[in-house]
Chain A
């Protein structure tokens, strides 16, 4: 089983190695968000006791992790369309191993992208270098695992990329906006906070903020625990959906 997970992970890494330029260009948009939104809002509004760019940077890293990992998960539709999924499904390998391998592979790629953004954020002075980088990596990885698995679960029943735009508009964007990545949830209305409570990215961003900016809403261990549980749930759901009706 560990072997099989490693095999699937390794393929994700090899493909990632081939597509580095795409990864770099996918960083451009979040970087603009960080620079222009950070500067623009930072000078228009003020947060108590904190610079807005420093508040925003962990949110933008969360955004990269979210986009990269959802995309990784949903990309299984391409595997299906190009027929490669059959090669995996007919092999003596359990569906659970395939799902976990994909999730960890996608999470590794997402963490890598997040780290590049983190380096940029350091470089432009949005955050200060500290030991927080290690817990930050852990949060990126967990958040990534969660959303690759979510992407896989969504894609388990999809036969074409036609629904992709729908997913972006109705799942990814709300997930991002309601996570507290752009504005503090503490002052948001109750209904909004209620939704953000079930948004995995809320805990990812909160954890990143602990690690990189030294503050957050919940205790960091709680962020971590909730995220880990959600990752397990997402992996189980994806494995279940893949077991039934994979073709």
Chain B
């Protein structure tokens, strides 16, 4: 099967700033692919190039089998939910959708059917007749997602779909995205700087920093690349325990605590307790630390994703969304 998207050395420079620095990747048809990275990593710029809004400085890409110069074909094949609001506030929800349907050359009957279908999907039937300026931030986002889907794109780009939304709305949108991916077989490319979001939703993730891909894989394989889960144990005779557990995983004693790096910590914990019991070693505390995508990011960059989260521009965006 041909990939939904393939890029080769895709690069975008703004003056001397290399926003996207030679990115090569393949996104399979039907997968949910995440671009995870801090603010300014180049996620939006990458999506803007793939959706024909800006031209790359160098490199190439195929979207739905078409080179970037075939703008019209690509535009027909994709849907996009932009990072920043993009609705006409003066129009009603329904009018926004109708305008979209017309832009995508849908006949009027089909428009009517799809409009009510997507409105139902995002639970906005009741509000559809009201002007968008009366909507909450979450409602606007849902309307934008509904709009992005209305013409049944093969590929859907979601640029920070839940930025600035409250946790409940966020979970609702996650559910909705995975349902959509399963039901409609839409390939979804989403960007986020929320690790939990990438972890919960994506089949595969590219972690991107300063315009470069620094790690790529399934959420599990990325986390496993750190060596596995860590069991932290407090016990009276840590040294003895450590030597007993040497075969089970990598052991390390710091500040009287023993940490054992293992695969599948949930299953290893009872085995470990059994070994300790057999040798009459009293364990006073046991905890399991599972690595997160954040740890993966730290491993590769020495920084946290959160550190750069609250840029002034970002704060402004959050405020704009929350309205």
Asked if B256 is an interface residue, CB under 8 A from chain A, the answer is no
Contact in complex: A90, B75 (CB < 8 Å)? yes
Give the complex CA separation of A86 and B159 in angstroms: 13
- Of the residues A11, A83, A91, contact of B82 by C-beta under 8 Å: A83
Residues of A within 8 A of B54 (CB): 247
Residues of A within 8 A of B104 (CB): 91-92
Asked if A15 is an interface residue, CB under 8 A from chain B, the answer is yes
* Distance from A246 Cβ to chain B, minimum over Cβ atoms (Å): 8
Give the complex CA separation of A83 and B84 in angstroms: 7
Across the two chains, which residue of chain A brings its CB closest to B72? A92
> Looking at chain A's contact residues, is the secondary structure mostly helix, strand, loop, or mixed?
helix
Asked if B57 is an interface residue, CB under 8 A from chain A, the answer is no
The interface of chain B, by Cβ under 8 A from chain A, is 48, 51-54, 72, 75-76, 78, 80, 82, 84-91, 95, 99-100, 102-105, 131, 147
- With A10-B102, A11-B91 as known contacts, state yes or no: A92 contacts B76, CB within 8 Å: yes
Interface size of A in residues (CB-CB distance below 8 Å): 23
Give the complex CA separation of A28 and B305 in angstroms: 56
Residues of B within 8 A of A84 (CB): 86-88
Ranked 7 nearest A-B pairs via Cβ: A83-B86, A91-B103, A7-B102, A92-B75, A92-B76, A87-B86, A83-B84
Contact in complex: B105, A3 (CB < 8 Å)? yes
B52, B89, B102 — which one has the most chain A CB atoms within 10 A of its CB?
B102
Contact in complex: A15, B99 (CB < 8 Å)? no
Residues of B within 8 A of A90 (CB): 51-53, 75, 78, 80
Contacts A/B (CB < 8 Å), 17 sampled = A3-B102, A6-B102, A7-B103, A14-B90, A14-B91, A14-B95, A18-B91, A82-B85, A82-B86, A84-B88, A86-B82, A86-B86, A87-B87, A90-B51, A91-B75, A91-B104, A92-B72
Asked if A4 is an interface residue, CB under 8 A from chain B, the answer is yes
Residues of A within 8 A of B84 (CB): 83
* Distance from A3 Cβ to chain B, minimum over Cβ atoms (Å): 7
- With A11-B91, A18-B90 as known contacts, state yes or no: A88 contacts B103, CB within 8 Å: yes
Asked if A217 is an interface residue, CB under 8 A from chain B, the answer is no
* Distance from A4 Cβ to chain B, minimum over Cβ atoms (Å): 7
Residues of A within 8 A of B99 (CB): 7, 10-11
Contact in complex: B90, A15 (CB < 8 Å)? yes
Contact in complex: A83, B85 (CB < 8 Å)? yes
Interface residues of A in 1-60 (CB under 8 A from B): 3-4, 6-7, 10-11, 14-15, 18-19
The interface of chain A, by Cβ under 8 A from chain B, is 3-4, 6-7, 10-11, 14-15, 18-19, 79, 82-84, 86-93, 247
Give the complex CA separation of A18 and B102 in angstroms: 20
Give the complex CA separation of A92 and B87 in angstroms: 18
* Distance from B44 Cβ to chain A, minimum over Cβ atoms (Å): 11
Give the complex CA separation of A3 and B104 in angstroms: 10
* Distance from B48 Cβ to chain A, minimum over Cβ atoms (Å): 8
Across the two chains, which residue of chain A brings its CB closest to B80? A90
Give the complex CA separation of A6 and B103 in angstroms: 10
Contact in complex: B88, A4 (CB < 8 Å)? no
Contact in complex: B91, A86 (CB < 8 Å)? no
Residues of A within 8 A of B85 (CB): 82-83
- Of the residues A4, A18, A82, contact of B103 by C-beta under 8 Å: A4
Give the complex CA separation of A4 and B106 in angstroms: 11
- Of the residues B90, B91, B95, B105, contact of A92 by C-beta under 8 Å: B105
Give the complex CA separation of A15 and B131 in angstroms: 11
Give the complex CA separation of A22 and B95 in angstroms: 21
Give the complex CA separation of A4 and B75 in angstroms: 15
Give the complex CA separation of A84 and B89 in angstroms: 9
Give the complex CA separation of A79 and B76 in angstroms: 22
Across the two chains, which residue of chain A brings its CB closest to B82? A86
Give the complex CA separation of A206 and B87 in angstroms: 41
Give the complex CA separation of A90 and B82 in angstroms: 10
Give the complex CA separation of A4 and B99 in angstroms: 10
Give the complex CA separation of A157 and B147 in angstroms: 28
Across the two chains, which residue of chain A brings its CB closest to B78? A90
Give the complex CA separation of A14 and B95 in angstroms: 9
Residues of B within 8 A of A11 (CB): 88, 91, 99
Residues of A within 8 A of B48 (CB): 247
Give the complex CA separation of A79 and B89 in angstroms: 10
Give the complex CA separation of A19 and B91 in angstroms: 11
* Distance from A37 Cβ to chain B, minimum over Cβ atoms (Å): 34
Residues of A within 8 A of B89 (CB): 82
